[in-house]
Amino acid sequence: MSTTFQLDTSTSRANPTPQPMRRLTVPKLRARKVDGVTDEPLVMLTAYTARQAQLLDPHCDMLLVGDSLAQVIYGLPSTIPVTLEMMANHAAAVVRGSYHSVVVVDMPFGSYETSPEDAFDSAARLLKESGAAAVKLEGGEAMAETVAFLTQRGIPVMGHVGLTPQAVNVLGGYTARGRSDAEADKIVGDAKALDEAGAFAIVIEGVVEPIAIAATEAVSCPTIGIGASAKCDGQVLVTEDMLGMFERVPRFVKRYGDIATTISETAAAYASEVRERSFPTEEQTYQPK
């Protein structure tokens, strides 16, 4: 039995609740890839709130508290303004709302690039304040030393290569990477460097498919694709994109729902009944006994 904080759906309150299964662990996920093959692909989705985590948790191996919360939750233009406090708070909520998935939290821009020591301080704070199991950081060979420093000190690290959103100002946009031979070689080399440094998994984002496959085959740890290839060892999407919360749909996203329309139509029905004074009815009010 394991104990976590679960939302009581009848009260919307978080209470300590014993669960009938143990949470997945980083070593178990890492071990899913054997001799370069992952028989059962890893499933990862983003989560930012306790209730969202509760709904996604039974279906996922990992929940990523992504710095994409900048745009999704806060309406910011990019991930650059995200702070450690923001990530820690949302990660703690996701941990409280889950009991099965490994919770991975993004390290925000500026919290790990200066030195391995600074990265350790930031990562330790995130894990201490949230209860998450691992951190994710962007960058390839340049971050290998930091990945090794963290993993040797007990902090599991997920890498991230290819299109790295925190480097959008350098990359000049969110276009697919790996179209030139030099860039393709760099992506594969970056993945190998992170693997050798001890990363337990590597996100490959926005990379032309043959290069994503080559990177997956070049490393011993699982790769998690997003805009990459079905031949990666797992997949991740921003949940709100997958659910159809936004009008714009990136090429690499499949919309599995149209939640935005459901919310809009439901709000419209509510507004209409309020204006007609048909809500609340006797069923939704307290009458004298």
Average pLDDT over residues 192-204: 98
Average pLDDT over residues 264-275: 98
Length of the chain: 289
The pair of three-digit structure tokens given for residue 256, joined into one six-digit string: 């599995």
Q: Which entry of 205, 217, 247, 283 is annotated as an active-site residue?
A: 205
- 138 is known to lie in a ligand binding site: yes
Q: pLDDT digit string (tens) for 52-73? A: 999 999 999 999 999 999 999 9
Among the residues of the chain, which ranges form H helices? 26-30, 50-56, 69-72, 84-96, 116-130, 144-151, 168-171, 181-197, 209-218, 239-243, 259-275
Name the CA dihedral angle for 258, 203, 120, 95, rounded to a multiple of 10 degrees.
30
Of 238, 143, 131, 132, whose CA–CA distance to 199 is shortest? 143
Provide the pLDDT for residue 83. Answer: 98
Provide the pLDDT for residue 163. Answer: 84
Name the CA dihedral angle for 241, 212, 63, 116, rounded to a multiple of 10 degrees.
-120
- 35 is known to lie in a ligand binding site: no
Mention every residue, 6+ apart, whose C-beta is less than 8 A from residue 207.
Answer: 161, 162, 163, 176, 177, 178, 187, 215, 227, 228
- 130 is known to lie in a ligand binding site: no
Mention every residue, 6+ apart, whose C-beta is less than 8 A from residue 237.
Answer: 45, 46, 226, 253, 254
Q: pLDDT digit string (tens) for 75-115? A: 999 999 999 999 999 999 999 999 999 999 999 999 999 99
Provide the pLDDT for residue 72. Answer: 96
Radius of gyration over alpha carbons of the chain, in Å? 21
In whole numbers, what is the pLDDT of the chain averaged over residues? 91
pLDDT bucket at 2, cuts 50 / 70 / 90: very low
Provide the pLDDT for residue 207. Answer: 95
Q: pLDDT digit string (tens) for 135-163? A: 999 999 999 999 999 999 999 999 999 98
Q: pLDDT digit string (tens) for 22-47? A: 899 999 999 999 999 999 999 999 99
8 Å CB contact between 224 and 235: yes
Mention every residue, 6+ apart, whose C-beta is less than 8 A from residue 104.
Answer: 44, 62, 63, 64, 65, 132, 133, 134, 135, 136, 158
- 254 is known to lie in a ligand binding site: no
pLDDT at 20 over 60: no
pLDDT bucket at 19, cuts 50 / 70 / 90: low
Tell me the C-alpha distance between 9 and 24, whole Å.
24
8 Å CB contact between 234 and 223: yes
Tell me the C-alpha distance between 257 and 239, whole Å.
10
Domains in the chain: ranges and CATH: 2-284 (3.20.20.60)
| pTM of the predicted structure, to 2 decimals | 0.90
- 67 is known to lie in a ligand binding site: yes
Q: Which residue shows structure tokens 């993993």?
A: 151
| Ramachandran sector of residue 236 (left: φ over 0; alpha: ψ -120 to 50; beta: rest) | beta
Q: Is 205 a catalytic residue?
A: yes
Q: pLDDT digit string (tens) for 247-257? A: 888 888 999 99
Q: At what angle do helices 84-96 and 116-130 cross, to 10 degrees?
A: 40
